[in-house]
Amino acid sequence: MIKKPPAPGVSREARISDEGLQRLEQQLMRGGHISPLVLAQWIKRYGEPAREMIKRYAHQQDSD
C-alpha cells in the first residue's frame, strides 16, 4: 500500500486574507449556530471586518 505524503494545511497568509472572510460569510449565510467562542476567534484573527460582518448577519437574523 502506497501512502500519500501529508499535504500542508492552509497557510497563515491564506487564513488572514479575503478568502478567510469569505468563508466566514458563507458560514453566516447558512444560518447555522456558531458558538460565541468560535465567533470570538474569527474576530481575533480578522479584526474589525469580521466583527462588522458578524453584527450585520446577527441583525439580519433578528429582522427575519
Question: pLDDT (tens digit, 9 = 90+) per residue, 9-62?
Answer: 766 666 667 888 999 999 999 988 899 999 999 999 999 999 999 999 986 766
pLDDT value of position 36:
94
Is residue 46 within 8 A of residue 52, CB to CB? The reply is no
Domains held by the chain: number: 1
User: CA 20, 11, 14: angle at the middle one, nearest 5?
Assistant: 30
Does 49 fall in a domain? Answer: yes
Which band of pLDDT confidence, cut at 50, 70 and 90, is reported for residue 63?
low
pLDDT value of position 32:
84
Residue-number span of the structural domain to which 39 is assigned: 31-64
Does 10 fall in a domain? Answer: no
